[in-house]
Amino acid sequence: MPETQNDSAFDATKITRPAPVLLTYYILVSVPSLFLALPLLWFRFLTLRYTFDHEGVSMRWGLLFRKEILLTYRRIQDIHLTRNLVQRWFGLATVGIQTASGSAGPEMSIEGILEAEPLRDFLYQQMRGARGETELPNDASGKPVSLGHGTNTTELLREIRDHLARINRLPEDQQ
């Protein structure tokens, strides 16, 4: 059986780059998806709505299948601001909001925002304000403890220390 010339001439160690025709293949494969992806993205753009109110943020989109995400400011754990090269060129950004849901990606991605930094700062303020609305600790009589708004940090820490000392003395006073 004669050995063909192609079998003896092949050397795999000489392959360092893909064939240039691969680029042509990628272009041909992406054209059908472009025509499929463009209408889907167009309908998403037309139906995408955001609502920011005093309790949280909501995002909804969809034509045939509606999807809605509601996040209260209390649930927000972290806020990420991302911009790829094209977004930077257009002045756009995506604000990703993460919660403690355990997913690796953001729970909500607010896309197409021109004023991304002010939106991020607004969300941080709302997030901190929502956490500051929790009930204050009660003293022995059941009344909320005043932490003295407008005081400096040292005075606030002294008030907390004194309040904890009063709580620790309660079991001794009852005996």
Model-wide pTM > 0.85: no
| 101-to-58, 78, 111, 158 alpha-carbon distances in Å | 16, 12, 20, 36
Count Cα neighbours of 146 within 13 Å in the Cβ-side half-sphere.
4
pLDDT of the residue at 134: 43
pLDDT of the residue at 149: 52
pLDDT of the residue at 68: 94
Q: Does residue 115 contact residue 131 with C-beta atoms inside 8 Å? A: no
pLDDT of the residue at 37: 77
With 0-12 / 13-18 / 19 or more C-beta atoms within 10 angstroms meaning exposed / middle / buried, residue 3 is exposed
pLDDT, mean of each 10-residue run, the chain (175 residues): 56 66 74 78 88 89 92 92 89 90 84 88 86 51 52 79 84 63
pLDDT of the residue at 12: 59
pLDDT tens digits, residue range 49-61?
A: 898 888 899 899 9
Q: Does residue 27 contact residue 42 with C-beta atoms inside 8 Å? A: no
Helix (H, G, I), strand (E, B) or coil at 94: strand
Q: Does residue 93 contact residue 113 with C-beta atoms inside 8 Å? A: yes
pLDDT of the residue at 175: 59
| Cα(152)–Cα(130) distance, integer angstroms | 22
Q: Does residue 102 contact residue 128 with C-beta atoms inside 8 Å? A: no
